[in-house]
Chain A
Amino acid sequence: MSWWFLIFGKLSYGAFPFTYSIIATMAAGMVVLGFIATVGLITVMGKWTYLWTEWFTSVDHKKIGIMYVIIAMVMLLRAVIEANMMRLQQSMSYDSPGYLPPDHFSQLFTTHGTIMVFFMGMPFLIGIINFAMPLQIGARDVSFPVMNSVSLGMTFGGAALMMASLCLGKFSTGGWSGYPPYTEATFQPGVGPDYWIWALTLSGISTTMTGINFAVTIYKKRCPGMTLFRMPLFTWTALCTSILMIFAMPPLTVVTTMLALDRYLGMHFFTNAAGGDMMNFVNLFWLFGHPEVYILILPAFGVYSEVVANFSGKKLYGYKSLVLATMCIAVLSFTVWLHHFFTMGQSGMVNAFYGVSTMLIGIPTGVKIFDWILTMFQGRVRLQTPMLYAIAFIVLFTIGGTSGIILANPGIDYQVHNSLFLVAHFHNVLIPGTLFGMLAAYHYWFPKAFGFRLDERWGRLAVACWTVGFMMAFFPLYALGLLGMPRREVEYFNPAYQPWTIIAELGALVIMAGIGCLFIQIVVSIRRRAQNSVPVGDPWNGRTLEWSVRAPAPEYNFAVIPTVDSVDAWHARKERGEAYRVEPQYFDILLPKNSALGPVIGVGGAAAAFGLVWHIWWLVIVAMLVIIGAVIARGFVTDSERVIPAEEVRRQEVAWLGTVRRTPPVPRDKETAESNEGLAEVQAA
C-alpha cells in the first residue's frame, strides 16, 4: 500500500474534470468560482463572526428554516441548469450524438433527480415547516432545537458532497433510484454510486431526526387550547409528513447501507451471484420511496390550504375532511410501493392489489381538490402571487393526478413504463404540487421572516414563466411517451420525436426565465425593503397565529404564550377586537443557547462521507471520532439556556404595539400597495 493511498485514498490527478471533459470542467469551475466568490465576499465584508454567532450556531427554528430554504434554492438552481442541459441534448440528438457524451448525460439525470428530491424538495419543505409550524401552534421553538441544528448540518453536509462530486470524480450513472446490480462495483467500479450512497445516507439520517423533532413538537408543544382539531391545516400536513419521515426514512438508510456493504466489502445483498437478490433493493427502496412522494407533497397541500383560505377571505371549507384526507393519504402511502415496478415479475393478483390501492389514493386527493375549490366559491378571491401558484396547482395537479390514475392500471403501465409518459407524470405532480407549493409558501411567509413583502410584479411574472414553462416542457413528454420514447435517452432515431423535444427544450428555457424572475424579485425586493416593510406583521390579513406577532418575528416568537379557543385563532381575535393588546404582565423567557454541535456534525459528516467515497480511511476515522466526541461533550454542557428578562420583552412589545397604533389599517384592495404596513383592516363581526 503506497503512502499516496494512505493519505489521499483513490483520489488522483484523473479525478479532476479537466482531464476528461470540457463541459464538466466548466461545471466544476462554476462551483469553485461560486465557492470562492461567496467566501471572498463574506471575508471582505467581515461577516464571518456575524454568520457564525447569528446563523450557523443558531438553534432558532426560524433561522434554521431560512437556512434550509437557502440550501434548497441553491440546489434548485443547479438542478434546473442540469435539466436544461438534458433538454438541449435531446432537442438536438435525433440521429446525432448531440453535445453530451452518454456517460455525462447519465450523470446529469442521476444528479438532477437526486438533488431535486433530497436536496431541493426536502430541505425546502423542512425549511418552511421549521419556520412556520412552531409559530402556528403558539410555541417558542421546536422540541429539540439543538437536534434541529444538527439535522440542518447533515443536510448541508449531503448537499456539499453533491457539489464536491462536480469537482472531483464522476457521479453515479444509475439514476436517482440507483438500482443494483448496475450500481454494484462490478458495473460501476468508480466513486459515482458511493457519492450517491453517502449523500443519501446523510440526508436520510438528517430527515429521520427532523421527523422525530417535528412530530414531538406538534404533539407536545401546542399552546393551551390548541387541540388537534384546532391546528392550522399546514401543521396537520406537517404532522403527517413527520410521521412518514419517521417510518419511511429507515428503509432508505438500510438499503443504502446494504449497497455500500456490497460495494465496499464484497457482500451479496443485491449482486447477480452468490444469493444476492436485487428485488430486495427495489422493494426496500420504494418502501421508502413511495411515502417519500407524500413527504414531498403533503406540506404543499398544507400551504395551499392556508393560501387558498387566506386569499379567499374565508375559512377553509371542509377542514375536517381535509384532515381526514391527509391522514388517509399518509396511511395509504405505505400500501402502494409496488406500483413502481409492476413489470418486475410479480403475479397478476399482486399487481392488481397494488393497482387498486394506488387508485384509492385518488379519492382523498380528490376530496382535497374539491375542498379548495369550494373554499374559493363565493369568496372574495385576491389574485396575489401565492394564490396564483395555488390556482395553477389546482388545474395542473389534477391533470398530473389523472395521469397517475392511468399509470396505476398495471395493464397500461406495461405499455408506458420506463417511457417519457412516466417522466411527464411525476414532474406534473411534483412541479405544480411540491415546487409551486414551496414557492407559494416562500412568498407567503417571506414578510414574516424578513419584515418586508416580496415584489409582487416579478412574483407574478415568475408564476407565469413557471406555469407556461412547465406546460411547454412536460406536456410534450406525455406525447413522446405515448409515441414510445423511453426515458433517459441520450440519442434517438425516430424523426417523430424531435418536434416535441424542441418544444420541451423551449419550455425548459421559459422555466429558466422563471428562475431569473425569482432572482430579480429578491434583488428588487431587498432594494425596496423600506417601502414594502410590514412591521406590524399581518400583511395578508392572516387567520392563524403566526400573523399575530410582529415581522420579522421576534426570537422568542410570543411574548406571552397565547391561549386559543377556535380554529383560525388570530382571525377570531381580530374579529372580537382583542388583537394587539398590551399584556398585563410579561415574564422572563428562557431560550436555548447557541450551539456549535450542528455545524461540527455537519462538517464532520461531510468529511466522513467524502473519506468513504474516496477510501481516505484516516479522514473517516478522525471525522467519526470528532462527531462522537462532540456529542459526548454536549452531554456535559449544563448551562444551555439563556434568559430574556421580562423587562426587555415588555420594552420590545410596547415599542411594537406603539407602531401598531401609528399604522393606518389597510383594506384588502390595497394589499400590494406601499401603504400596506402589515395592519389589516377588519370589520368586526
Chain B
Amino acid sequence: MSATGLRHPGLNLGPAHGDAHEAAEEIVFGFWVFLMSDLVLFSAIFATFATMVDATAGGPDGHTLFDFKSAAIETGALLLSSFTFGMASVSMKHGRETRSVALWLGVTLLLAFVFLGLEINDFLSMLAKGGSPERSGFLSAVWLLVATHGTHVTFGCLWIVVMLIQVLKLGLTSDVKLRLLRLALFWHFLDIVWVGIFSFVYLRGLA
C-alpha cells in the first residue's frame, strides 16, 4: 500500500499535498460504495416496475399518461445540468476564483429547478388524466420509480444550495472541494439513473 497507490486521480487539492490526497481517497471511495448501494436500491425499484408494466388493471397506461415533449425537455435539462456541473468541477480544478465555481453551481441549480418543475407538472397532468398511484400496480411502480429519482434530485438541490453557501463563505478549502467532488459524483449518478427511467418508463411507455 504505497502512498501513491492511494491517490485519487481526479482530485486537485494542491500540488504534492499527500495527506489531503490520502484522506480524499478514503472519503471518495466511501462515496462510490454508497452510490453502488444506492444503485442497488434503484435496481430493485426498476425490477418491480418491469414486473408491473402490464398491471394496469384497466386503468390508463403510458400512452395516455406520458407527454413525450415534457419528458424530452426534462432529459435535456438534466443532461445539460450534468455538463454545467462538469464546468463547475473544471473551474474548481483550474480556476482561481470561487465566483466561477459558484456561478456554474447556480446554473446547475436552475436547470435542476427546470427539471423538477416539469416533473411536478407531469405528475399533475397524470393526476388530471386519472393516473394516480393508487389506480393500479403499474402506476404505483411508475410513481415510486420517478419520485424516488425526483426526491434524490431534490436533496441534490438542497446539497447544491448548501455548497453554494460553503463555497462563498468558506472558500475552496480541501473539505469544500471534497464535498463538491462527491456532489458531482452524486449528480452524474442521478443523470445515469434518469437515462434509465427515460428509456424504460417514458420511451417504452410511449412506443
Contacts and interface: CB of A to CB of B under 8 A. Distances in A.
Contact of B44 (A261, A277, A284): A284
Contact of B137 (A227, A254, A257, A274): A274
A276 B45 CA distance: 14
Interface string B120-158: 000000000000011111111101100000000000001
Contacts of A265: 133-134
A630 to B, nearest CB: 13
The listed residue with most B CB atoms (<10 A of its CB), out of A143, A221, A274, is A274
Interface stretch (B34-42, B63-71, B187-195): B34-42
B25 A268 contact: no
Interface in B18-45: 25-27, 29-30, 33-34, 36-38, 40-41, 44-45
A394 interface: no
A425 interface: no
A212 B34 contact: yes
B166 interface: yes
Interface residues of B, number: 42
A219 B30 CA distance: 10
B150 to A, nearest CB: 14
A267 interface: yes
A227 B29 CA distance: 18
A287 B36 contact: no
A251 interface: yes
A275 B52 contact: yes
Nearest to B55: A275
Given A222-B1, A268-B57, A212 B137 contact: no
B57 A258 contact: no
Contacts of A276: 55, 137, 140
Contacts of A271: 137
B30 A144 contact: yes
Q: Please indicate which of the listed interface residues A216, A219, A255 has the most CB atoms of chain B within 10 Å of its own CB.
A: A216
Contacts of A258: 48, 140, 144
Contacts of B141: 269
A271 B59 CA distance: 16
Given A220-B29, A274-B57, A274-B136, A208 B51 contact: no
A658 interface: no
A135 B116 CA distance: 47
Contacts of B36: 246-247
Interface stretch (A20-28, A191-199, A632-640): A632-640
Interface in A244-266: 246-247, 249-251, 253-255, 257-258, 261-262, 265-266
A175 to B, nearest CB: 21
A268 B166 contact: no
Residue of B38, B144, B173, B179 contacting most chain A CB atoms (<10 Å): B144
B57 A269 contact: no
A224 interface: yes
A290 to B, nearest CB: 14
Contacts of A280: 48, 51-52
Given A269-B141, A274-B137, A212 B37 contact: yes
A275 B30 CA distance: 39
A470 B25 CA distance: 47
Interface string A209-247: 001110110011110100100000000000000000011
Contact of A267 (B6, B140, B179): B140
Contacts of A250: 37-38, 40-41, 44
A254 B45 contact: yes
Nearest to A223: B1
Contacts of A632: 158, 162
A269 B140 contact: yes
Contacts of B97: none
Interface residues of A, number: 45
B162 A635 contact: yes
Nearest to B134: A266
Contacts of B47: 284
A273 interface: yes
B33 A216 contact: yes
A267 B133 contact: yes
B30 A251 contact: no
B75 interface: no
Nearest to A279: B51
B205 to A, nearest CB: 15
A259 B107 CA distance: 38
B100 interface: no
A261 B52 CA distance: 16
Given A275-B138, A635-B179, A247 B144 contact: no
Nearest to B155: A628
A638 B48 contact: no
Given A212-B30, A222-B1, A638-B175, A275 B37 contact: no
B170 interface: yes
A589 to B, nearest CB: 14
B25 A247 contact: no
A542 to B, nearest CB: 24
Contacts of A249: 37
A144 B6 CA distance: 17
Contacts of B166: 635-636
Given A246-B37, A254-B45, A267 B134 contact: yes
A628 B137 CA distance: 32
B56 interface: yes
A216 B26 contact: yes
B26 A268 contact: no
A247 B6 contact: no
B137 A208 contact: no
Nearest to A268: B137
Interface in A156-193: none
A262 B134 CA distance: 8
A82 to B, nearest CB: 31
Given A143-B30, A273-B57, A254 B41 contact: yes
Nearest to A631: B162
Nearest to A224: B1
A254 B51 CA distance: 15
Given A268-B137, A275-B56, A212 B51 contact: no
B176 to A, nearest CB: 9
Interface string B77-107: 0000000000000000000000000000000
Nearest to A640: B175
The 3 closest A-B pairs by CB, nearest first: A275-B137, A275-B55, A250-B41
Given A251-B41, A274-B134, 4 more contacts: A212-B34, A216-B33, A277-B137, A628-B158
24 contacts: A143-B26, A212-B33, A216-B26, A220-B6, A246-B37, A250-B40, A253-B41, A254-B41, A257-B144, A258-B48, A267-B133, A268-B55, A268-B134, A269-B137, A269-B140, A275-B55, A275-B57, A275-B137, A277-B137, A280-B51, A284-B47, A632-B158, A632-B162, A635-B166
Interface of B: 1, 6, 25-27, 29-30, 33-34, 36-38, 40-41, 44-45, 47-48, 51-52, 55-57, 59, 133-141, 143-144, 158, 162, 166, 170, 173, 175, 179
